[in-house]
Structure 1
Amino acid sequence: MANPTVSFVVPAKDEQASLPATLESLRDQRTDREYETVVVDGDSDDATPEIARRYDAAVVHQPRAAADGGTGFAPGIGDARHRGAQWADGDWLAFVDADTVVRPEYLDSMLGLARRESLAAASSRCRLVGPARAKVMEATINHAFPRLDRPVLPGFNCFVRRDAYFETGGFPDVPNEDTAFSRELGREWPTGYHPDVLVATSGRRIARSGLTGTLYHYLKLDWRRLRAEY
């Protein structure tokens, strides 16, 4: 295969239930462009890596402990995203979570917007699948995030040019890694949202913890992000 235009990067740990739908949506892109899918397996205890290979995705291993040895530190999703980016060959990197489904026109639509508006990175509208209370967070992502001076590009739906990604330093391995990355990227590069592209992602955290519990969870993560000086 020629060098891909786009590399989809999917972090996944114990995602055998959700991953097939995600990979099917990536496999079924309606495009003439070359693209690849990279699944970063977080040392899963289930069939996640086998499922990834079944869909012809490359599998990159993320160990449970840091390579510096003996600290007990478990690398997080920021590390997984970055490992996938380092492995990938695409001129553009499309970060999609293992419980996110994109439509067949996603690749061409996002690439078209980025090139047309000279953006280094973009996200788009989302639909949170789950309880009705998930609509509050959905509205925040769809209406508040794009209006920020440096828009937050959610990690489950982030389309970024390769050179901009690496010049920014990529996703850091800190809490709320997507906020940290988006704000750093937005200092130097133009970013935006596609108003007509829709992705569906799971609201399972809200179903499990409720809206208040989920908001508290992310507030704690953001406090830890700020303490880490990101």
Structure 2
Amino acid sequence: MGWLTAGAVSVAAWLWLLLCRSWFWRTDQRLPALVEPSHWPSVAIVVPARDEAATLPATLPTLLAQQYPGRARVIVVDDGSTDGTGELARRLAGTTGGLPLTVVSPGPPPPGWAGKPWAVAHGVAEAGEDGYLLLTDADIAHGPRSLATLVAAATGGHDLVSQMATLRTETRWERIIVPAFVYFFALLYPFRRVNRPSARTAAAAGGCVLVRREVLARAGGFEAIRGAVIDDVALARLVKRAGGRIWLGLADTVRSVRAYPGLADLWAMVARSAYTQLRHSPVLLAGTVLGLAVVFLAPPAVTVAGAVTGDAVLLGLGAVAWLLMAGTFAPTLRHYGRPVPAALLLPATALLYVLMTLDSARRHHAGSGASWKGRSYSGSR
């Protein structure tokens, strides 16, 4: 009876996710149809960078080379780097030319501030009165017309436009973990629901966020989210709650060059903020683990139980749930150029995410909490 219940609940859950979760599994949310504005507003590109000397040569030149019809400039915020990040940025600008570059150093964050919000806030202050701010991470490379297309989309009726950069999938573990990361993000924050002005759901992808300065200031600026570890989602919520219209989708010409060579690197990336996403709540943690088990782990377990016992009903329920799951994952795999049959392995990847989430909680209760390049945010939200 237990297996039968698990199978029935899994099928029901996947039918609901397939039909009632704002089509989260589709990958067709791209920038809206572009109409060039009659006047191109000024833009400041703010790049927080902490020990990014290894990535800047592949990313900063793509920002300096932006083909933007209006006035634009790049501000690199050297956030306490020890590897010469700031000086390297100046050398790259001198070698490649392009948009004007300013390098600033804000000093260590004050009490109550997480590192990235502090660095970005400093860059925003340096930007002065520019109409728009492109907040982009130091590991993100942009196509030559990226800024122009983002601004055109924003001036068409959005106050915040964010694209989820195409993440690197060169190593074996990147190919296993990364597509599932994007899939789970979309499951948690369905893009269509995010983009609906009447919906409360809000999210952004921190590697590429264009925001209207006036709306950001009206919403309270980065001061209002100064302690946020998951700053991109916090920023989107801030803007939407202030009445701003936001848009989130997948990128075509924006990509991350950040390498995660092994499982340990990817594990640390997920575990760094997973428990923060659950607001450090043991109740939410238990509910999340139970939910992941029922939705992602039960289908193959029920299928195996049905095959071993010869119970055709169990076998059918498990197989239907498993195939529904794989069908929703297939578009993301296609987006990343991965073979569609690999979607059947999603339960194994989901198990890894369950373990990463549990480890994130363990780290928090052990006092290490969220950390990034030598900074710990164990008490941050």
TM-score, L = length of structure 2: 0.52
Q: Which protein is bigger by CA-based radius of gyration?
A: 2
What does residue range 112-127 of structure 1 map to in structure 2 within 5 Å?
Answer: 112-116=152-156, 118-127=157-166
Contact 1:154-1:179 at 8 Å conserved across structures: yes
Write the distance in 2 (CA, Å) between the matches of 1:204 and 1:94.
23
Taking only the aligned residue pairs, the percentage that are identical comes to 25
Contact 1:124-1:198 at 8 Å conserved across structures: no
Match of 2:226 in 1: 173
SS where residue 181 of structure 1 aligns?
Answer: helix
Gaps of 5+ in 2: 1-39, 94-99, 282-377
Contact 2:109-2:118 at 8 Å conserved across structures: no
Q: Which moved more, 1:219-228 or 1:46-55?
A: 219-228
Contact 1:134-1:206 at 8 Å conserved across structures: no
1:185 is aligned to 2:256: no
Give the CA deviation at 1:153: 1.2
Write the distance in 1 (CA, Å) between the matches of 2:44 and 2:275.
32
Give the CA deviation at 1:214: 3.4
Change (3 A) 1:189 1:229: farther
Give the CA deviation at 1:5: 0.8
Match of 1:76 in 2: 115
Alignment counterpart, residue 70 of structure 2, candidates 16, 19, 33: 33
Give the CA deviation at 1:203: 4.8
**Where is the helix percentage greater, Structure 1 or Structure 2?**
2
Write the distance in 1 (CA, Å) between the matches of 2:274 and 2:131.
34
Write the distance in 1 (CA, Å) between the matches of 2:163 and 2:114.
27
What does residue range 214-225 of structure 1 map to in structure 2 within 5 Å?
Answer: 214-223=269-278
**Where is the strand percentage greater, Structure 1 or Structure 2?**
1
1:164 is aligned to 2:215: yes
Change (3 A) 1:207 1:151: farther
Give the CA deviation at 1:135: 1.6
Describe the superposition over 1:184-229 as per-residue Cα deviations: whole angstroms up to 9, x where unpaired: 2111210013566431114545846355553332222334589989
TM-score, L = length of structure 1: 0.83
Match of 1:103 in 2: 143
Q: What is the number of residues matched between the two proteins?
A: 222
Contact 1:13-1:41 at 8 Å conserved across structures: yes
SS where residue 84 of structure 1 aligns?
Answer: helix
Give the CA deviation at 1:103: 0.7
Describe the superposition over 1:141-165 as per-residue Cα deviations: whole angstroms up to 9, x where unpaired: 5674523343311221100001011
Aligned CA-pair RMSD? 2.9
